[in-house]
Structure 1
């Protein structure tokens, strides 16, 4: 046999872990060549439009389709009753938690179209299908829905009051979950014995997700195979397939999910929506593909929303200002129905994340997850983690003010120290790594903390108030669930990775390829990624919880080990050596002590060419590997924000920003920086401008970008970024996740800066969003109180 040629000198340098590499998809996307949901079309497709309720709460007395069916081109109109008759079922239960009394939580029935009753503005009551989108929308306007209006209730704190309208009759008091965690007696005793207690009522305001790409769905049906195909944007094709099959009432394997590029999700597209089920039903009924596309204004009414919690946080300290206990009580608005993870943010995730980077020994959490006549509330970037960190950081700043202690010193005094790791938090999370004090000190230096006084005086000279805020955070990332790592060597010399996560803008193709390059030494430009085809997947819990790199990274590492194991056996045969004498490094199998070697890609090419192998040897290098999830990781960091406020108008601007993070192993610094920038921008939006408003009838008053403010480029200052990494010990890659950390740091630091700027007026707290109106009113009220102390 001819010895393989040693071509080490001619191989290009590897693009592996730790290098800043542009996203593989960017060249395609910036040239407008992407393939998003609304770009998908099929021959002969019809078009759908949803008839939406104009009442937030009411009984459906009748639906008259006569005028709508008379519109030329209308093919069919379906109601909720039609879907039930066809065998469709409500969404399955998702994340659950036990009630305070130990009883299991229950799920209200959430169907694709309302049956008998509507429970929020914009809920679908009928689905029109026509030859054109224009005809479908025209007919939808003519569907006459007779609804007997019922009283609405939009705030969770109002929905739990006696006599409040019941959203679902079978849920007394509108409580979907009465969650409790902690030792009440021990916490009460700690508070009773505390030298000081700080108490802060606080709100995490409801936000509109406003993903860059509105949703769209294209359904088709193969009558011969009795199989559905759904083309839409999601966060995990495998999980979406399971939910859709359940709702359609069909057996496993009868649905295929196809997802191309996804223009943002932030948790909102983590589960299928009503329109997905409507197009599939219509496609089967009509025998042709059916497409539905959302409009931006319609998305305000049909998408899930985020946040919306009303909490009171209490912090107990001893005489030396050490934290001795923390208690959080409140309500979380879950909307009219429960999304797959609807109870997670105000309950379970809040509990896990509240202890943050501090040694607080005792924690109690009491949260009611409350049903209201509003859009269902789902995951939104961080899904409870930014909120929990926000509550803690605000109460620490307030405690420092009350005690006359520097807020930085109070944090430093209560940090979990490196020598205390592994550390079990009061939320029962085991922190494996981190250096929280040193990281904070890095952030203070990078932000020029000591130079703030001069900057404040300069702002004052211009008639502006300047404040600064420090916000530390720790997130519990990762989630249970299987993850897939597939590696397939293609005949054309490329390598395909297959994972159960799904890229919604994070840059998976590059980051995952860098892991594979580092493990297998294959060329970066030869690696492709498949995530959005459920037929290719055997497992996968989808993207979410900042776990994609941690979970898929581990899956790819383990899959790579299997590739090497199989390759060593085949290479030993090719190189006429004992298997134990063959080593693998930098993409090549080498016989120890000789110049005989063969590259992994060369070996794959020979297999495709029909390499003759004896019985007992692997016939392929391809691997399909599934692991059972990864333990949590704990990214953490410290952000420092400076704001300027015009006291005459209340206008507030973030003028200086610093972020230092511990994300463990950083695979691609460029992607991490971009993810951090996006999270900071979303946090600034929620902190200063994003406000979702319903009136007493449940009508959405902020139903377009005319009324709802999103941050623009000019609202986000340059961000000074630093890293203080400590390797995670919970996964082989050592990564901790980064996708949602920007929100966790920006909510805390920006709002601490706002209150610091307003401190000269005696203002101790202001709720998000700190809009100019809210700030101006707070200043006027503070001035009036100072002028008339008896009125305070």
Structure 2
């Protein structure tokens, strides 16, 4: 483990690290002055519309575009053959980890063209693109494209896809199997289960969700023929990685493609991918010599964005007679959808392996997953990407084991938790917990939730004809390891300081948080900080935002860059102030000769260097000529944000309606840069978890049609679903693995809410004989479970 010294923190400032400063971004956004992709317009721009497959599975016999080409305003129509003739390659979704099958052979990647080539594999698969003068003309002409497709049988459930005789999506992948994954210690796990005093087993569904970001996907492509270079405006989670993948698909060097991202209205993992539409627009812009734009329609995005989750598993927990965990085993299936995405295999494999132990000292683990393709929308990252899933499986197992063994569920958790005295703790997955007080979080969460007073609240609910339950969701998640992240600092002529970084804000408030770090380090006023994050032409490094690592990556880069600026400034200030370098101290934005009132502010020093005025004439040539810097933070280990959530729900047994009425969360995110932003992140994440647990249901029929294809059919949580009593507390234990001591927080809300809400619901239903219910626990599902339990009684 790479242990770093704790950050030498300056004295507290009203706008520095640790202060709940209102977001600097919000005034502009609330005034409607944000610049999203759809707000960008270029002279002479054309508009694109996509022709999508109406079949979930079929052979493309022909694509007749002649009628469409003759329609008013149409400039061009392209198919897969046109893209191939122009040298456009496939969209290569390389997983972040080089996965291998359990027999040691490497996983291979199915080919995906930007437009469907010989087959269509899900309803919504793009087959052709129409370019016209206006968006309406493009859409009208897209309806005139005649597709000749011979339908094939479709398969939408992952278990069915792996069954003998199932329709096969690819000739090169018999049986639809993409990855047969196994990790852990199967032999020792089997021995532990064989010798266990008790084994708890649950079959659990992690339901598919539609991402539904506030801002639909959009893109605007332009081509400079003289320079041989592309410019693409598109939402992203980091411009460099996406730029590189698009350049590869277009067959050009990365420096021939500039990706620009402005404001992004939500992503949750989805917009970090490369999509077929972007390649098509780049091709059209080059072929037509004019900018080409496209903005997704909401109904279209339901079947063209990546979906999230979708796993079916059997989770097992082996315990001794005293309730101590011996081993955990998760076996099951991962639905990848019709095509592989870069994160698709990760959630059901290593995501479970590294997160299912949570904060418990489980000595053995085994994960066995079979990942298959189906005739459904591809699966990509969705808030947490395997981390909420792993914690959900363990927390559901613990509550079930407590019931089966007659052990109090709080006690069962407490006796199995890693204690502070045991740290650092190495898990059987090889992860190392370096800091935390897990029993302390549990105790404080129960106290804040008034656990002892629950019986009276349950009686009161009963008097009103309601069932009341409470549930615990302890979680510990593994963040993505921060690495190779840029911090560029530019001291501008207008008195501002620009931070250049490769991470990207799609709702997190990076300008505010990064500005607070810079203010604490260099004393730059918060309102004088600017942020450049979405221009690949100005960035030399950067791994983008994802996995709750942005603060650890960019924040650490800012800290280290600030330290370098201070050392440069001390050397320069020594000459300006006519003192020895050893006598120069940096304090609150000023270089001061120790013990005197002689000083120069950092902004003044930067201005003198820039203007070449007010400096001694005999400056040594080896001194830096500027305070501007480009610094790359190289790497740090993953961190382990953790916490305990307690939910209380009420159920109306006559309608099956579930309401989350009280919610408490106590979290350890290490050093908090801005507690106000962190609390907001948790509110949003918890509500997304409530949505998945109780509402969000993605349904495909037997022919692969997306039945829940609009907000008329697919329910998202709304403001009224926020718990009326919503308590947030922080008990930070800073990590030593990065200079800030931060652990990340962006995806933790889902990790705690999925298990706490479902455990609370099942606690409420237990008195009526209901012991198991899968997500989403819709009113219909709850009502049916209650009726079936009563009929069986």
Contact 1:484 1:627 in 2 (8 A): yes
How far residue 90 of structure 1 moved from its aligned partner, in angstroms, is 1.6
Equivalent position of 1:269 in the other structure: 271
| Cα RMSD after superposing both structures | 1.2
How far residue 426 of structure 1 moved from its aligned partner, in angstroms, is 2.0
Q: TM-score, normalised by structure 1?
A: 0.97
Equivalent position of 2:758 in the other structure: 751
- Cα distance in 2 for partners of 1:185, 1:400 equals 26
- Cα distance in 2 for partners of 1:480, 1:175 equals 32
How far residue 484 of structure 1 moved from its aligned partner, in angstroms, is 0.8
SS at match of 1:152: coil
Contact 2:99 2:107 in 1 (8 A): yes
Instruction: Could you tell me which runs of 5 or more consecutive residues in structure 2 were left unpaired when the two chains were aligned.
Output: 1-11
SS at match of 1:244: helix
Equivalent position of 1:192 in the other structure: 194
- Cα distance in 2 for partners of 1:683, 1:328 equals 21
SS at match of 2:143: helix
Contact 2:482 2:553 in 1 (8 A): no
Equivalent position of 1:174 in the other structure: 176
- Deviation track 1:261-302 (CA, whole Å, cap 9, x = no partner) reads 000000000112111111111111110100001000000010
Residue 44 (1) aligns with residue 44 (2): yes
Equivalent position of 1:772 in the other structure: 779
Equivalent position of 2:79 in the other structure: 79
- Deviation track 1:571-599 (CA, whole Å, cap 9, x = no partner) reads 11111122222221211112223322111
Aligned pairs (5 A) from 1:683-762: 683-717=689-723, 718-762=725-769
Equivalent position of 2:670 in the other structure: 664
How far residue 13 of structure 1 moved from its aligned partner, in angstroms, is 5.8
Q: TM-score, normalised by structure 2?
A: 0.97
Equivalent position of 2:258 in the other structure: 256
Aligned pairs (5 A) from 1:194-343: 194-343=196-345
2:542 corresponds to which of 536, 540, 560: 540
SS at match of 1:346: coil
Contact 2:693 2:776 in 1 (8 A): yes
- Deviation track 1:516-553 (CA, whole Å, cap 9, x = no partner) reads 11111111111000000001111111100011101111
Equivalent position of 1:474 in the other structure: 476
The number of residue pairs the alignment matches comes to 776
Runs of 4+ in structure 1 over 3 Å off: 611-614
Residue 372 (1) aligns with residue 374 (2): yes
Contact 2:500 2:539 in 1 (8 A): yes
- Deviation track 1:70-126 (CA, whole Å, cap 9, x = no partner) reads 111100001011111111112221323221111111111122111111111101000
SS at match of 1:642: strand
Equivalent position of 1:136 in the other structure: 138
- Cα distance in 1 for partners of 2:768, 2:175 equals 40
- Deviation track 1:300-353 (CA, whole Å, cap 9, x = no partner) reads 010000000000100000011100001000001111111111111111111110
1:454 corresponds to which of 443, 453, 456: 456
Range with bigger deviation, 83-92 or 191-200 = 83-92
Contact 1:114 1:123 in 2 (8 A): yes
- Cα distance in 1 for partners of 2:550, 2:52 equals 35
Equivalent position of 1:112 in the other structure: 114
Range with bigger deviation, 613-622 or 736-745 = 613-622
- Cα distance in 2 for partners of 1:167, 1:88 equals 23
Range with bigger deviation, 138-147 or 157-166 = 157-166
SS at match of 1:427: coil
Residue 676 (1) aligns with residue 678 (2): no
Residue 17 (1) aligns with residue 17 (2): yes
Contact 1:581 1:591 in 2 (8 A): yes
Aligned pairs (5 A) from 1:422-501: 422-479=424-481, 481-501=483-503
- Cα distance in 2 for partners of 1:74, 1:117 equals 26
- Cα distance in 1 for partners of 2:295, 2:323 equals 56
- Cα distance in 1 for partners of 2:37, 2:717 equals 25
- Cα distance in 2 for partners of 1:372, 1:317 equals 36
Equivalent position of 2:658 in the other structure: 652
How far residue 257 of structure 1 moved from its aligned partner, in angstroms, is 0.5
Equivalent position of 1:3 in the other structure: none
Residue 643 (1) aligns with residue 649 (2): yes
1:359 corresponds to which of 358, 361, 381: 361
Contact 2:388 2:752 in 1 (8 A): yes
1:632 corresponds to which of 627, 638, 651: 638
2:623 corresponds to which of 608, 614, 617: 617
- Deviation track 1:195-245 (CA, whole Å, cap 9, x = no partner) reads 000000001000000000001100000111100000010000111111111
- Deviation track 1:633-685 (CA, whole Å, cap 9, x = no partner) reads 10000111111111111111111111110011000011001000000010000
1:413 corresponds to which of 384, 405, 415: 415
Equivalent position of 2:9 in the other structure: none
Equivalent position of 1:146 in the other structure: 148
Contact 1:478 1:551 in 2 (8 A): no
